[in-house]
Chains A and B, each alone.
Chain A
Amino acid sequence: MAPSLCAHCKTNRALILRPKDHSKLCRPCFLTTFETEIHHTITSTGLFTRGERIAIGASGGKDSTVLASVLKTLNERYDYGLDLILLSIDEGIKGYRDDSLETVKRNAEQYGMQLCILGYDELYGWTMDQVVEQVGKKGNCTYCGVFRRQALDRGAARLGLTHVVTGHNADDVAETVLMNLLRGDLPRLSRTTSIVTSTPSLAADPAANTHIKRSKPLKYAYEKEIVLYAHHKNLDYFSTECIYSPEAFRGSARALIKNLERVRPSAILDVVRSGEDMAKLVPDSDEGCGRVCTSSVPAAEEEQGGCGSAQGPSSGGDLATLEQALSSDDRAADAALEIEITTSSIAKRTAPLPLTVGKSRKVPKAPNNTRKQPKKQVMGQCKKCGYLSSQDICKACVLLEGLNKNRPKNHIEVGYEPEKEATSVAEAVKQLDVGAG
């Protein structure tokens, strides 16, 4: 078979089969097309303003590395006039994050960008390794996600800027759409499909970390094309996945997305489109009123940072938890049990589980009014740390309180190093030996 020519320039040999629409392109045309599409996303949504300082949430992985590279290219090519800074969060996971941070440091040099690294230990007094030691591998992703969300905002505030871009791609968004349908979370469905999310400014205190805009310029870019772009541009990225357990729910949705992509390559984009359209159908959403309501940008406080490391069909970890919660709700509703039972089961669920919406219609009316209508989130400030939150105490502070409560009585300093601990234990054992002998 004769080699086919690039569908775009019609001169070079086509080397790349675009995952998105199966068109055949040569290497330079693929790179330009990919960049032009991101440029289109940026300009058509008016994502940036001239002179804006922007933090790129950089993990050293393929998505954020490609994002940094493309933004640098476009900033120069189209003269956006942006000041780009890399912002990395050090979760404190040995054998994973320390290596990927080395990649980010190299990227900073390669792209000539300023780099700011902020650690969980510095912010919260806990590294993820310590959290896992305490809570076990199961459910630690909740901590990591909640902590990371605030960490990026705090890092942005520290850098004195108000806009963070993240490397979420079309596959991530499509996954989130399916995942939120599966767990029945409409408010979050309507929030996560938006390209820009923001924590609306409370204005009162400029020092608070509240008015941070988040956006995902790669929202419509296929994961496979990001990998191809990184490969053909010889980008330096880190590809090991997080060593702790993946989110089972996301894994289940991810497997489904990959299967859909095989059947119809456009399916990922189609799910994103459906998600955007459905966001307009969610009652009480900002999208529903044609964006003329008070806040035109969805709040993003509780959006969970999927670490995107899940793979394969899930073992069903939190599927089972949700199933249990839902079926006990159903049983309560069928039996028309009294309110004490339903409310307590709700209270119990708030921490580890996504809020479920579907509830009984048979439950007695009067004392239950607050639960009847899906609560419209009212944003306030966390009483402990001042971070924007719909609750009195923000999620991170709640989690921290739990962690600190169980911390051993003998206080461990922030500058804690496991090696020292190990040697002192060894010494203690030696002394014991001596004592015994």
Chain B
Amino acid sequence: MPGKQITDVVEQLCRRCTENQAVLVVRRDPLCRDCFVRYVHTKVIKHMESFRVRNADPNRQRKLLLALSLGASSVTLLHILDHLLETQTSKSGRTGFGLSVVFVETAGDASHQDRLSKVRQAYPDYDIASLPLHDVFRLVPDQESLSGLLPESATVEELSPADKLVTLFGSLTSATAREDVAATLRTRLVVEYAKSSGCEGVLWGDSTTKLAEKTLAETAKGCGFSLPWHVADGETPFGLAFNYPLRDLLKKELVAYVDVVGSPLPSLVLDSAPTQASMSSKNTTIDDLMKQYFESVEVNFPSIVSNVVRTTGKLKATLTTNDAPACDLCSMPVSDGRFGIHGWGGDQHGIADPILASSGRRLCYGCTRSIPSTTNPTNGSA
């Protein structure tokens, strides 16, 4: 942890500038405050190359949406992009891109709004929206397939978006299913908001560590097929581009950055309790497990974390998937329309009609594990 590192490097000089006292060790190099800040900025700006001023059409401002979670990573990204835009303006009088920010609220937590207003004060130049998750039942154009995920007993027409969300979550049978569905809906809400506000891409604050977690978590959820769109920079089946400018920075480096830069950052970041897997596996989620796993790997084996991300980046989406039918929940293209958990080798039953077996809903393999089946209750996971 950063605090410990600072005591370790007392009396050492920064390896980059060889002038100042080092304040922490980054990938085995002792660095001073300035060199560390420059290190972080360089890693981010490298991924914003295509949004430089000289690539921008002066008559048409490109707009990007930053998805803010109020964690150390996304707050840092906002801080660095603000700095980048300021530099661009001071150098050329204009910016390479416009920035909007969106925060997705989780129900029943008021502490977010307090932090969010502080963020608005600290970065007054940006339009920072805050949306409740149930807005996904308002903004997504294809409401029919999304509402089809609610239990059949629900009278969909009479429910408000908020009630729909509560009904959907009420029907989910495990903690991991609830977290998986919430994350998927959050992504879809951010995408729809980006489209409705004229943004051509979404900037996510995922660190290397987070992307590695995501790689293994999606693999464990049976969503390996969709990894190229969840971890790599570029166009997605959502119809806009995803970018991960923090992809070369470890979570611990971003936490250290918040500390080193100081005010106002520490007051904006929501305190995240150290990940501790719940004692009962009933309350543990797959995401929790992966988070815990990589937090421990990151301490001693940072290169393994980045190697996972680099490796996943080499997976290539196949051409045919672009016009394949999409999953009702995650909206990812399912090749050959192989919906549901049936109709592959591991099924071992040989159900003739996979579409029929998935009870009319068109869910990809991974999402089928989360949404309880209406026709075949024994097939759900406990």
Q: Chain A: residues with CB nearer than 8 A to chain B? A: 7, 21-23, 36-38, 40-41, 44-45, 170, 177-178, 181-186, 195, 219-220, 256, 259-260, 262-267, 269-278, 280-283, 288, 316, 319-320, 322-323, 326-327, 329-331, 356-358
Known: A326-B304, A330-B27. A259 touches B289 (CB 8 A): yes
**Is the beta-carbon distance between B346 and A272 smaller than 8 angstroms?**
yes
B286 to chain A, nearest CB (A): 6
Residues in A whose Cβ lies below 8 Å from that of B317: 281
A/B pair count, beta carbons within 8 Å: 173
Known: A181-B308, A270-B221, A316-B300. A278 touches B315 (CB 8 A): yes
**Is the beta-carbon distance between B222 and A270 smaller than 8 angstroms?**
yes
Residues in B whose Cβ lies below 8 Å from that of A326: 303-304, 306-307
Stretch binding the partner chain, chosen from B141-149, B212-220, B256-264: B212-220
**Is the beta-carbon distance between A181 and B312 smaller than 8 angstroms?**
yes
Distance between Cα atoms of A164 and B182 in the complex (Å): 46
| Chain B residues touching A, majority SS | helix
Residues in B whose Cβ lies below 8 Å from that of A260: 220, 286, 289
Distance between Cα atoms of A65 and B216 in the complex (Å): 32
Q: Does B174 contact A (CB under 8 A)?
A: yes
Residues in A whose Cβ lies below 8 Å from that of B306: 326, 330, 358
**Is the beta-carbon distance between B315 and A182 smaller than 8 angstroms?**
no
Interface string of B205-243 (1 = CB under 8 A from A): 000000000011011111111011000000000000000
The 9 closest A-B pairs by CB, nearest first: A274-B224, A270-B222, A326-B303, A184-B311, A277-B225, A358-B310, A37-B348, A281-B315, A323-B301
**Is the beta-carbon distance between A182 and B221 smaller than 8 angstroms?**
no
Distance between Cα atoms of A252 and B293 in the complex (Å): 9
| Chain A residues touching B, majority SS | helix
Q: Chain B: residues with CB nearer than 8 A to chain A? A: 27-28, 174, 176, 215-216, 218-225, 227-228, 281, 284-286, 289, 293, 297, 300-304, 306-308, 310-312, 314-318, 341, 344-346, 348-350, 365-366, 369, 378-379, 381-382
**Is the beta-carbon distance between A323 and B318 smaller than 8 angstroms?**
no
**Is the beta-carbon distance between A288 and B346 smaller than 8 angstroms?**
no
**Sample of 21 A–B contacts (CB below 8 Å):** A21-B378, A37-B349, A40-B348, A44-B350, A178-B219, A181-B311, A184-B307, A220-B345, A256-B289, A270-B369, A275-B219, A276-B346, A281-B225, A281-B317, A283-B314, A288-B316, A316-B300, A319-B297, A323-B303, A327-B27, A357-B310
Distance between Cα atoms of A389 and B319 in the complex (Å): 33
Known: A7-B378, A270-B369. A322 touches B304 (CB 8 A): yes
Distance between Cα atoms of A316 and B297 in the complex (Å): 10
Residues in A whose Cβ lies below 8 Å from that of B300: 316, 319-320, 323
**Is the beta-carbon distance between A264 and B174 smaller than 8 angstroms?**
yes
Known: A40-B348, A283-B314, A320-B300. A274 touches B222 (CB 8 A): yes
